[in-house]
Amino acid sequence: MQVKDLTLTSPDVTDGERVPDAFAGEDATTPPRFVVSGIPEGAVELALICHDPDAPMPPGFTHWTLYGIPAVEGEIDVTAGRSGPNDTGGSGYVGPFPPAGHGDHHYYFWVYALSEPVDGTPSRSGFLHHSADAVIEQARLVATYSA
């Protein structure tokens, strides 16, 4: 895997800053917009995952898995991908909602450039286990949120 040119930015979420309330809370189902650039040669698709490692459970909390995103630079068309499972037991995006008084949580929005398509809609851990060898490059944007 290389760490070179792939970048993930957002017109809605600033790296290192608080996730805007419009994209947070248990009822938030509309994800922020993301822009990807520097897609490496050989990438056939992208995957996007939002994960909170600060959640009070051993594996953290996965807020979003999205697979089958075309490997095209520019704004990610979330309707072109396949929503996978999140840790609420559903699928699609669920906004940050840490326990009250738990302090700032960090939300890692990861984009992965893949050399082969993801099969189906695996969980985050399933994706990381089964598709690790297909990751050409990855990039992240990290934002915070507290209740």
Taking only the tens place, the pLDDT of each residue in 1-55 is 566 799 999 999 999 999 999 999 878 899 999 999 999 999 999 999 999 999 9
Strand partners, 107: 143
Secondary structure letter of residue 115 according to DSSP: S
CB-count exposure of residue 49 (10 Å: 0-12, 13-18, 19+): buried
The CATH superfamily label for domain 7-145 reads PEBP-like (3.90.280.10)
CA distance 27 to 139: 27
Query: pTM of this prediction?
Result: 0.95
Helix, strand, or coil (residue 30): coil
